[in-house]
Structure 1
């Protein structure tokens, strides 16, 4: 199933390599279901297969091909159900069997686009409760393809409040909803799906939360659904507050009454809640929640509900502290229970890795017993407890696009201290641990450089990736990659959008700094970027640059480039106006902020700039009104923050050749931000290019568009560093853009307009 060893790891190899989903093991951990999708640049099409991997033998069998199958759920150790998207816009619930080698029996069809399927056994043999997500109209009815395609003669839209658009779509009459029903095994042995009921009808709630919520926003047991939803009393554009709810289900085939809905109160926590989950048995549940409203990078705290059946449902913070800051200085992104329901499994960033942790101590009581790390390398994306206490995990690394492993927490805890390597019982790599890409872990290293704010963190950590053909004694140009967020990080994980190995295999030493504001190094380090966007983070990057120049003799720091997206794109604009920017041969800005007033006030989630810049750019009386809406007290210095850290205040210093990339469906940051930066560069006579995609959002996701993105970026930076051009295709020719297609254009990026490049 895997590609042959690549002669050179290129964007084509990156984008056409089989992409494997997180693995879904059966309860015994003997069979793992997963999908693999592959894009062919020769056929300009994607194929998807559903496969079953035998853990003992390593044999993989194909269960379905060329079908859009997702949301796999085991019914027992052989049979499973999943969703299949149909060409008419409907969704089928299908049943399959590993033993029979099939996945095609249709249990029912939903007359809409649906996803995020969860299934659990009921007390009656052959009956299963089902919950999935699908859009509903204003009346709570299913949003069908027919409703979606219905158009009026005028294209106008009228809005009365904030959130006109979000991520890459304008808000319409439809909204997310959870739907429940029942699967029943008939006398013929086949499953049939009942009609579905909108669990949220009449509540004013929406779940999963837009735009990225999925099965991590809800869970199911045989008599209830636990879920998170934005607080309906607060404007979602001004607040992050999400509440946790439990809905009792008396019958999985009939509507439930409003009295069955309970909100879980956690006083003092006014931020976002996420990852609600029931214990596999017993009365417990767990979830994550943030304290501060309007701050999406606040630390996630871990809460456990000891008894969801109690008259008064209470939640306890498992790692609370008298200071109110919590005893564990990491921010988990997911929580689940072990098979015995006595401990919790947590995934959290930790200094450039994505670790799996297990709790130690009584999870129903607050204490200073810190979680124990079960992994130390790579990035865990999913963890599934097995019935015997072992844990099946899915993950990736900088050189491996997908690995599976089974670990024994008892053996790990007995043999090591927190943070040591896992005691692995079994593992399976999609890429031969990078060998099939021509990559190896020997290319990866780390550096630690002095921090600009030693009171918070003494050092700044950067991951470094060298070419696979690296030779001692030779010098290589340096590519500095600046992450987005700004509360984000570079980690030992795989990406098809920003993959450091792509640049390393062009001949660069790649340095990925995690400056002030980065996640995984303690909450204080993350928080320190607030109202400090161009301050400490910039100084940290300066110090990384200078350290590399003094200490890495193989790094040609006089021949360096810088690239960044989102906040990283902001930093490229900031660099262009400050001294460090003039030390780069060239820079690349993908979807970055040009002007705070123009860019941040036009974004959809206004709570983000209002929090990070400590207020609004207007007068105190208006500030007070907004503060009241968000429960946040804004600083009186907020207006100066909007000017102080604005890249457009420093345009007179811009002089470095820069490639600007900005797509038309990026509603997080308007297209005008990219156009303004490009126009300034052109008007000042600075060598520059502008790349745009009419059909992409904040990310470039379509394979053909992504390949063009890489062609343009690599050709641009290689030209300034003296490396060979990535491709010699003419940007004014059709082949550069993937060729001409008949009928509807899937990729609408156009060749360079104006004076051809020489």
Structure 2
């Protein structure tokens, strides 16, 4: 039998830890997925962040990087290459690439280049990793899309702070200013031969600098926290779609949140067309979650009908042939009026199927997050959608089920409204 003092000692020596895992993002083949685990130990104030790769066939999870300044890892769409952001010295951000095939086999022990992190222990990272480019500010909301042009370029876009004149803002080098706005910055990754003798090619950022897509527009995107989410903008072969408040917005008149579209072809355009607002006839409320179809031909998003009614539900919208979009055209909402009973739920997240023929939406039904599938041709809907998952703990036998866990959820009455 343990003594009371021994029990007390063993009890006090136990330090609980808490882990939070991001959504696992599958690669194109559906064989691997990448995710981040953050583990915190309150007593010791330890905070460990790991980027990991899980083999979806075996369930084996392997370390990809444990550098605390690595973030937002994404599949590049070429083989098993991974692109991620790394916070570095003087408040800048680097774009790094490595091959997931190296995970568990070839690692290097390195000190992160970040001045802030260099005081910590060495980090592990795939040996094939290299820096593909740099932007002189803190970047987030990484988006990428293969353009399939003659150079097989990959378009990339990030959110970075900008000054009132549209230049990059870095508080470490520019000092303090109150005139700072969120902006979307874009460029491309292109293969370049590293050596004439070996013929080795690596992706690097375009020789042209990052371009501020919102310069001179008076618009800001992503929306400021806590409203801003990774789903505030998207990119494709057709350009950029994003959420922003009306240009007339002010602290006294906050205005509405709408979807805007910027047509781009190469993502190396130094001058780009002015953003076009996507209006929907009869729908004046807030927009949410714009996302391109896999082909880039269509855009889906959510929108409320009423501007002033906070309990109004979100409707699903689809704009086809987005390349030919003109602001004076409008789309119809999901024709629930053709159902026996209008769909009473309010979706808050939306994604396309891989073939672009269906839409997956997440909605709260009787307090449970559920996943629904809709035909992308909204006019073919004749009945209220049925859930394809019964609850949020259903095993992940559907690729898009990760939406149930990863979709940003604003806990408010609108998601529980029976409208």
Mapped partners of 1:319, 1:68: distance in 2: 46
1:121 equivalent in structure 2: 146
2:413 equivalent in structure 1: 487
Deviation at 1:38, TM superposition (A): 0.9
Which structure shows the bigger proportion of residues in helix conformation?
1
Give the conservation status (yes or no) of the 8 Å contact 2:318–2:331: yes
1:520 equivalent in structure 2: 416
Which one has more relative contact order, counting CA pairs under 8 Å at least 6 apart? 1
2:122 equivalent in structure 1: none
What TM-score, normalized to structure 2?
A: 0.80
Give the conservation status (yes or no) of the 8 Å contact 1:70–1:83: yes
Q: Aligned pair 1:394/2:410, yes or no?
A: no
2:94 to 67, 82, 92: 92
Deviation at 1:239, TM superposition (A): 4.2
Aligned to 2:172, what secondary structure does the other structure show? helix
Residues 155-554 of structure 1: matches in 2 within 5 Å?
172-188=178-194, 189-194=201-206, 195-211=209-225, 212-235=227-250, 237-239=252-254, 241-259=256-274, 261-281=275-295, 283-310=297-324, 312=326, 313-321=329-337, 327-359=342-374, 361=375, 363-365=377-379, 367-378=381-392, 391-394=399-402, 487=413, 519-520=415-416, 522-523=418-419
Mapped partners of 1:12, 1:522: distance in 2: 44
Residues 681-692 of structure 1: matches in 2 within 5 Å?
none
1:165 equivalent in structure 2: none
Deviation at 1:112, TM superposition (A): 0.7
Give the conservation status (yes or no) of the 8 Å contact 1:321–1:367: no
Give the conservation status (yes or no) of the 8 Å contact 1:342–1:363: yes
1:132 equivalent in structure 2: 158
Size of the aligned set, in residue pairs, is: 368
Deviates more, 1:67-76 or 1:173-182: 67-76
Deviations 1:637-675 (A, max 9, x none): xxxxxxxxxxxxxxxxxxxxxxxxxxxxxxxxxxxxxxx
* Structure of larger gyration radius: 1
Deviation at 1:43, TM superposition (A): 3.3
Mapped partners of 2:285, 2:404: distance in 1: 30
Give ranges in structure 2 of 5+ residues lacking alignment: 1-9, 104-125, 195-200
Give the conservation status (yes or no) of the 8 Å contact 1:305–1:364: no
Spell out structure 1 runs of 4+ moving beyond 6 A: none
RMSD: 3.0
Give ranges in structure 1 of 5+ residues lacking alignment: 1-6, 152-171, 384-388, 403-483, 489-518, 524-758
Mapped partners of 1:396, 1:365: distance in 2: 25
Deviates more, 1:294-303 or 1:221-230: 294-303
What TM-score, normalized to structure 1?
A: 0.45
Mapped partners of 1:353, 1:119: distance in 2: 32
Deviation at 1:238, TM superposition (A): 3.6
Mapped partners of 2:18, 2:325: distance in 1: 53
Mapped partners of 1:230, 1:396: distance in 2: 27
Mapped partners of 1:363, 1:395: distance in 2: 21
